């Protein structure tokens, strides 16, 4: 899901034990946006090793995201979709680095998780 960390951030804060739980319009809207994004997320395609894969990386000061995409023919039409993806927040120790390091972290996170499947 594109921008997962940004979408989930306000809900993640509510889960903190130190946070007083309040229901407000902003929280309800964040939940509804998150629910919509999760229920309308793209389906994973079956990976085929004989098809070229494309690496997509999205990294910023809040989170890392990376995905492997393949273009496959579904109902005789070419469809590009993810075969694997990962997303996580930036750790406090990683926040001092810049964009190229975050992209490298996103790349490594994807391969670390993809090779254990």
Closest CA to 72 of 55, 48, 56: 48
Average pLDDT, the chain: 79
Instruction: Express each pLDDT in 12-24 by its tens digit.
Output: 666 767 767 677 7
The answer, yes or no, to whether residue 2 has pLDDT greater than 60, is yes
Split at pLDDT 50, 70, 90, the class of 62 is confident
Domain 43-117 bears CATH identifier 3.30.300.210: no
DSSP 89-117: EPPGGGTTS-HHHHHHHHHHHHHHHHTT-
The answer, yes or no, to whether residue 117 has pLDDT greater than 60, is no
> What residues contact 96, with CB distance under 8 A and at least 6 apart?
none
The answer, yes or no, to whether residue 115 has pLDDT greater than 70, is no
Q: Longest Cα pair distance anywhere in the chain, in angstroms?
A: 53
Instruction: Express each pLDDT in 72-93 by its tens digit.
Output: 998 999 989 888 888 888 788 8
The answer, yes or no, to whether residue 64 has pLDDT greater than 70, is yes
The answer, yes or no, to whether residue 65 has pLDDT greater than 70, is yes
pLDDT of res. 25 = 86
Structure tokens at 89: 């927040």
Q: What global pTM score does this model have?
A: 0.56
């Amino acid at each position: 899901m594109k921008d997962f960390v940004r979408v989930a951030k306000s809900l993640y804060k509510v889960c903190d034990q130190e946070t007083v739980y309040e229901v407000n319009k902003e929280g309800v809207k964040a939940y509804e946006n998150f629910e919509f994004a999760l229920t309308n997320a793209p389906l994973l395609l079956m990976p085929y090793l004989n098809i070229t894969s494309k690496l997509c990386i999205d990294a910023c000061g809040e989170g890392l995201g990376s995905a492997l995409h393949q273009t496959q023919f579904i109902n005789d039409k070419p469809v590009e979709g993810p075969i694997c993806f990962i997303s996580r927040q930036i750790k406090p120790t990683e926040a001092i680095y810049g964009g190229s390091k975050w992209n490298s972290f996103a790349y490594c996170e994807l391969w670390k998780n993809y090779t254990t499947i």
